[in-house]
Structure 1
Amino acid sequence: MGTRQAFPTELMSGARLFLALSLGAIALALMVYPLRTLRRTRGISDIEKRAPDFDGRIETYDKLAVQSEEGAGKPSPFLGLLAEDALNLARRIPVSLKVPNWEISAPAALAVIALGALVWFAAVGPDNWRYGVRHLWAGWVLSDTLPPQRVVVNPGDGAVRLGGDLFIDARAEGFDPAEAEVFALFEGSEDWESAPMLTGEGDDFEFTFFAVREPLRYYVVSAGVHSPEYSIEVVALPRVRNVKLTYHYPRWTQLETDITDPGGDISAVAGTQVEVEVTTDQPLNGAELMVNGEVLAMTTAGAVATATLEVEEDGEYFVSTFFNEDPVRLTDDYFIDVVPDNKPVVNVIRPGRDWKASNIEEVSVRIEATDDLGLDQLDLHYSINGGEWSAISLDVDGAYTLSEEVLYLEELGKTVGASNLLDLLMENEQSAEPETEAVVSSLEPGDLISYYAEARDRDTSERTDLFFLEVQPFDRSYSQSMQGGGGGGGGGGQQQDEISQRQKEILLATWNLIREQGEQTGFQDEQQLADNAQMLSELQRTLAEQARTLANRTRARQLTSVDEQIQTFVESLESAAEAMIPAADRLVDLEFDQAVPSEQEALQHLLKAEAVFTDIQVSFQQGGGGGGGGGFAGRDLAELFELEMDLEKNQYETESPASFDRVPRRKLTKPLPSSRSLRAGRKASPGRPIDNNP
């Protein structure tokens, strides 16, 4: 309270009186009252309470002694014996039991803490607190316990243009007032006028005189402390007719020079050079630009003044001229707003979804990218069967680009072998017959091309969703199994792409985690990211176990010896399961970029297995019924596939249409939840359906 009111004498005197009364009350409570109680009771009950071993001896002795004195007779013969017995007990009782250490140390510690706090406030505490403590305790003896107290006012004496605004800023030193008041006397008026000042930044107070047309005198009062009296002159200065702004943007924005006429507030990206040109109705006697408290000299030529400022941070600026060598405002404040550099926006609008094509097709990919300032780079990235990413640079021009790139699958097929060319050459050095055929190999049914687009500006980049091109046979084989026969039912048609679809969802969810990983802002985001990664890892391991179980069951039924296609199907499943394990490990470690290649490889093996499975079904259906071995193998494999993938059915309740004995079936595992329900699930881009069919 003292700091708020500049330590007035009345308040400090009352505080000292209250302090003295408080100390007196404490002394009375801690010393006088206990001594009076001790005289009245002689401490007998307290001693008996602290030392129970006396067992009432002292109290009994006291009563007998009092009775003897009141009866004026002979003292009781037991007094001496009782006193001797009590004395012997007292010698065996330690002093610390009679007066515990804590009853001395605790008050002493509190006193030391209180004294230390008092010394700290008086010596090194906050300024106003330090002076306040000194003045409270010693101000009645010493005269220099208070700091210099004053109210500092800006601009003090000065001048303002006719009709301009006058901004007053006041700051208290040596005390911390809660309010301040400005007093003003205008020319031609006899009475001082007053108005409360507004609280500004920090401990400052602010007030604005609007449209000043007469000279005035003013001062500020706060907590009884008066500032000096200041004078403001009103002068007729040149009037600003126009402010013209010329924006010279940084080169990286790729923006042309822009002119705003008339101008005022500035809005531009950081690093922009803005030329401010001020035109007045009269020639200027010098001018300056005040930008966020810094002065920039302006070049004057008659009635035109120019200066260039660089946009670095939000703030404000104004233009001043000179009157009697003092700066006088010509304009009000104009704001400076730094425009953020937002991320680019990029979308794949054709095909805009996952696509299936033969290995000789040409797939057109159309990409749209925009940026608020300008694109630096636009790339189409693709990977074949989980291999290394390749990039195709697309042309960009300005802030909007619509580019189209054709993927020639027949040509891309050649790069499948070419990517391993170095390994082949090293092997050929040790072999007499170079294997050059691998370099010109083509894509096969079941191969997978993953691709996405990435747009970059100066500091940031943005990726699209991950899309897939699945290679399908141009002309499906309808040849019968070499074992002949065929027949019967056999399900699995609806479930044949179930396992690859689940793997695709895990891959897409991982891709979205990569995109979200750079956007996390706090512990909760990091924890949610880790939780999603853990869940995806568990889903990946579950899917690997399903693929491995299906392969093992197929081998256990000796179906691989019946048809080479079934052998290829099983090997593809086993390869997919092997690729899923390192992917799951990478997910747990939050190494999403390293998990994607393994997930892509697993998906490619699954697609190959499903392509082979489709051929097996075709061969089985074209067999025309009957009981051939190939027909039984195809039907048995179809039912196994359906049984493993259809997690909605209870395997114990599903009747088998097979005409032969089967191995015992395992209990149904918990259904695999779709990763689309996760926060890390696939985000549908505008215009992009989540669809796997062309």
Structure 2
Amino acid sequence: MNYPTYIGEQLMTLIQTVRRQRNGLFWLRGLAILLAVAAGVLLLVGWAAYKQRFNAGALVGLRVGALVALLATAWLALSRPLRQRVSDAQLARLIEEKSPGLDDSLVSAIEFADDEKRTLTSAAIFERLNAKANQSAHNVNLDAIVPRKRFWQYGGAAFASVALFIGALLFGPQEIRKGLSQVVTPEAFAATTDKDALKITLKPGNARVPKGTDQKIVATTVNFEAETLTIFTRKAGAGDDQWVSAQMEPAKAKNEFQHFIFNIQEDTEYFAEAPGCKSEIYKFTVADLPYVKRIDLAYDFPAYTGMARKVVEDTGEIAALAGTSVRVMAYLTHRAKSARIVLKDGTKLDMQAENTEDGALIMAGTINVTKESSYHIELTSVDGDVYNGSNEYDIVVLEDMPPVVTFEKPGRDTRATSVEEIFSQAKAEDDYGVSSLEMFISVNGGEEKKVELQNLQREAAKSLSGAHTFFLEEYGLQPGDFVSYYAKARDARHETTSDIYFIEIKPFEKDFKQSQQAGGGGGAGGEQPNALSKQQKELIAATFRVIREEERYNEQEKTENYNTISLGQEKLRDATNQVIERIKRRMGNNLDPNSDFGKLIEYMTQAAKEMEVAIPLLKGKNAKGALPPEQRALQNLLRADAIFREIQVAQQESGQGQGSQRAEELADLFELEMDKKKNQYETIQREQQQQGQQQEDEAKRKLEELARRQQTELEQQQQRAQQGQQQ
């Protein structure tokens, strides 16, 4: 209640001002909440409405739900707070709580202004109480009661909600705008968004078709994806209970399905259906018209392939290289007035009648293959009827794959003395013809020498072979040297490189079985010189493959491959340095730099230095720059391997002498026990193999994984080439 007669003017003004500001703040707060909720609800409803835009029940539910949410928010945030009546005494209490030091003067003045209490109170006391309340009201800070910053906060929140909503409509997904249009003005939306409707289109639709032909129906889902599609057919004019259903097969395109009606004899109606969507009903009208009963194709390949014309009978599907000219010869059942080849994009190519000795009715036209497409034959009967005279056939553009080149002999790394002759044979295969085959040879990673194995000046061959014999005596090699070689094959557009292989120069054989067991291939799992050189050859082969295939890698694959090789090279460098340190510690002051032991350390030290050069180049993704130091490291490891073998032979020949003792110490350093007790050697060998399997080096594992991946890519390339040859 208000008491304007008995309450002082200052106090009344304060109460009325606080009431207005409080109500205004409630209005603004409720509006901010309502706008925020409205923005969120409408955006969510718009998105959901677009997803369910063709589901009438769902749209009705969304409209009702949005309306209920907005009404509930308006009641809770606006109507209910404003409907609550607050007395003057309650407002006075609020003012005193926000303004300490008033000592209940405002509340007391309002309470004693009541007629009943006022009559029980002396006038002097009431006037004094009222005067104090007026004075206190005059000194009250209104901003402390209803802070102005609250108005700014709620106003800012309301503005932000509106701005967010408008921004989402203008710059957000168009689905939200379309969904809101569907919710707010469904009729207008339906009239303007037919292009976005869920529908199923059928080809050829309504059509006159020759009697006895096979008709291909292609269904395309528009604006949605379906896992299955069902086609329904019936005799034209039959009842609804005569529809016969069948599952359509997936076609080439993602959103296409196909179905064949074989040997059509009567007028047929058909439509297709997916969950929640159905096509129109179309009709095949059967007539006694000529049609295409067979198609032959004559391929004229691009000149660079060197291939002669190829005729494929009784097939309409075209698969050829870009630039191929294909002569399409259509055999008709009866005479037609004219014929045209109709491409997928609507382009029409006229066909001409061809004269044949047997009197066959042939219409021929030419398609120049430039891109993926499809075609059918359109006929005009002698009576002027225009119709599809054939099914739709695909035009597939084949990729000209690069040649595949391999070594048939020896087909692996080999070891030979410096006077042997090594026969090698390379073979190249290509889907459209190899024009040349070359071999590249390098000694100890030096300058490459090219050997021309085959060079065809005219027609290319699908398969080429070339042989070369290495007369190693001509190279002036010594044990520890190596010869690397690989082959390149070219077709008209591509060049392919084989893997790299090695011929390792070994000492002349000495009939000493135990020496072979001790040094032959690193079988004991220790860090022997030839085990190190074997790993270095694997790293070189991996680097060579990266050079060959780098253009096909994406950035992530390139980084992974370089990281694998560089990590493997670091591990091998560390292993080499560890062996060197162990030899130095064991030999101590007895190590003579000019002795075999000294030379062994010298070669291994130089190998480690070359590895150190290669590592930053690999990390910098410079495979071509890293290959020479990798090969020089291999040369030094192979020479260390040769010295290691000489020491083993010397050990066997010297018996129990001082040289034998040092050689046995060296074998221990390489974790290869050469005790004359065979059983003990085999026991240690088995233990080392088990330990090596359990503690497989991570870098080596990754390197092997890289080699397997590269080998898989090579095999896939070979398979594609073979498939291309079968086309």
TM-score (norm 1): 0.69
Question: Which deviates the most, 607-616 or 469-478?
Answer: 469-478
Aligned to 1:512: 542
1:97–1:187: structure 2 CA closer, same or farther, 3 Å change rule?
A: closer
Residues of 1 paired with 2:654 and 2:256: CA distance? 94
Aligned to 1:472: 506
| 1:537 and 2:587 matched | no
1:298–1:99: structure 2 CA closer, same or farther, 3 Å change rule?
A: same
Question: Which deviates the most, 537-546 or 599-608?
Answer: 537-546
Alignment of 1:347-366 (within 5 A): 347-366=406-425
Residues of 2 paired with 1:250 and 1:646: CA distance? 63
Aligned to 1:673: 697
Residues of 2 paired with 1:619 and 1:184: CA distance? 92
- 1:371 aligned partner, one-letter code: D
Question: Which deviates the most, 210-219 or 616-625?
Answer: 210-219
Aligned partner (choices 522, 533, 549) of residue 503 of structure 1: 533
Residues of 2 paired with 1:620 and 1:648: CA distance? 13
- Decide whether the 8 Å contact of 1:65 with 1:79 is kept in 2: no
| 1:384 and 2:436 matched | no
Indicate the SS of the match to 2:438: strand
Aligned partner (choices 74, 78, 85) of residue 31 of structure 1: 78
- Decide whether the 8 Å contact of 1:362 with 1:408 is kept in 2: yes
- Decide whether the 8 Å contact of 2:564 with 2:699 is kept in 1: no
Aligned to 1:306: 364
1:537–1:82: structure 2 CA closer, same or farther, 3 Å change rule?
A: farther
Residues of 1 paired with 2:281 and 2:412: CA distance? 76
Shift of residue 471 of structure 1?
1.7
Aligned to 1:284: 336
Shift of residue 599 of structure 1?
1.6
Percent same amino acid at aligned positions? 23
- Decide whether the 8 Å contact of 2:266 with 2:286 is kept in 1: yes
Indicate the SS of the match to 1:533: helix
Q: Residues 586-631 of structure 1, C-alpha deviation per residue, up to 9 Å, x if partnerless?
A: 22223233222212111112222332344455456545655xxxxx
Residues of 2 paired with 1:61 and 1:106: CA distance? 34
| 1:320 and 2:397 matched | no
Question: Which deviates the most, 322-331 or 675-684?
Answer: 675-684
Q: Residues 144-194 of structure 1, C-alpha deviation per residue, up to 9 Å, x if partnerless?
A: 994396999987876333345485889999x99xx9999999877799998
- Decide whether the 8 Å contact of 1:383 with 1:390 is kept in 2: yes
Residues of 1 paired with 2:575 and 2:392: CA distance? 65
Indicate the SS of the match to 2:626: helix
Aligned to 1:161: 210
- Decide whether the 8 Å contact of 1:503 with 1:599 is kept in 2: no
- Decide whether the 8 Å contact of 1:547 with 1:574 is kept in 2: no
Aligned partner (choices 452, 455, 462) of residue 399 of structure 1: 462
Alignment of 1:597-616 (within 5 A): 597-616=628-647
Q: Residues 182-238 of structure 1, C-alpha deviation per residue, up to 9 Å, x if partnerless?
A: 99998777999989999998999999887665678999999xx99999997644222
- 1:645 aligned partner, one-letter code: F
Residues of 2 paired with 1:471 and 1:208: CA distance? 68
Aligned to 2:393: 334
- Decide whether the 8 Å contact of 1:510 with 1:680 is kept in 2: no
Residues of 2 paired with 1:277 and 1:307: CA distance? 7
Q: Residues 324-363 of structure 1, C-alpha deviation per residue, up to 9 Å, x if partnerless?
A: 6664111112233444444544433322332222222211
1:449–1:238: structure 2 CA closer, same or farther, 3 Å change rule?
A: same
- 1:557 aligned partner, one-letter code: N
Q: Could you say which structure has the greater relative contact order, defined with CA pairs below 8 angstroms and 6 or more residues apart?
A: 1
Residues of 1 paired with 2:171 and 2:698: CA distance? 64
Question: Which deviates the most, 58-67 or 377-386?
Answer: 58-67
1:56–1:120: structure 2 CA closer, same or farther, 3 Å change rule?
A: farther
Aligned to 2:627: 596
Shift of residue 449 of structure 1?
0.8
Residues of 2 paired with 1:257 and 1:346: CA distance? 27
Shift of residue 108 of structure 1?
2.8
Q: Residues 636-663 of structure 1, C-alpha deviation per residue, up to 9 Å, x if partnerless?
A: 75356435432999xxxxxxxxxxxxxx
- 1:31 aligned partner, one-letter code: L
Aligned partner (choices 77, 91, 101) of residue 152 of structure 2: 101
- 2:541 aligned partner, one-letter code: W
Question: Which deviates the most, 189-198 or 52-61?
Answer: 189-198
Aligned to 1:260: 312
Q: Residues 338-390 of structure 1, C-alpha deviation per residue, up to 9 Å, x if partnerless?
A: 44444544433322332222222211112343334433433322221111333
- Decide whether the 8 Å contact of 1:158 with 1:326 is kept in 2: no
Indicate the SS of the match to 1:277: strand
Alignment of 1:54-73 (within 5 A): 54=99, 61-62=106-107, 65-66=110-111, 69=114, 71-73=116-118
Question: Which deviates the most, 322-331 or 456-465?
Answer: 456-465
Aligned partner (choices 643, 646, 650) of residue 671 of structure 2: 646
Indicate the SS of the match to 1:599: helix
Indicate the SS of the match to 1:583: helix
Residues of 2 paired with 1:578 and 1:344: CA distance? 38
1:609–1:493: structure 2 CA closer, same or farther, 3 Å change rule?
A: same
| 1:528 and 2:560 matched | yes
Q: Residues 282-305 of structure 1, C-alpha deviation per residue, up to 9 Å, x if partnerless?
A: 333111112333322212236211
Query: What is the count of residue pairs matched by the alignment?
Result: 609
- 2:78 aligned partner, one-letter code: M
Aligned to 2:484: 450
Question: Which deviates the most, 358-367 or 536-545?
Answer: 536-545
- 1:318 aligned partner, one-letter code: H
1:499–1:530: structure 2 CA closer, same or farther, 3 Å change rule?
A: same
Aligned to 2:609: 578
- 1:677 aligned partner, one-letter code: R
Residues of 1 paired with 2:518 and 2:282: CA distance? 95
Stretches of structure 2 lacking an aligned partner (at least 5 in a row): 1-47, 356-360, 675-693, 713-727
Residues of 2 paired with 1:646 and 1:133: CA distance? 81
- Decide whether the 8 Å contact of 1:347 with 1:464 is kept in 2: yes
Aligned to 2:288: 236
Indicate the SS of the match to 2:295: strand
1:467–1:43: structure 2 CA closer, same or farther, 3 Å change rule?
A: farther
Which structure shows the higher helix fraction?
2
CA-based RMSD: 5.6
Shift of residue 406 of structure 1?
0.5
1:213–1:47: structure 2 CA closer, same or farther, 3 Å change rule?
A: farther
- Decide whether the 8 Å contact of 1:135 with 1:146 is kept in 2: no
Residues of 2 paired with 1:355 and 1:180: CA distance? 60
1:319–1:127: structure 2 CA closer, same or farther, 3 Å change rule?
A: farther
Residues of 2 paired with 1:265 and 1:186: CA distance? 31
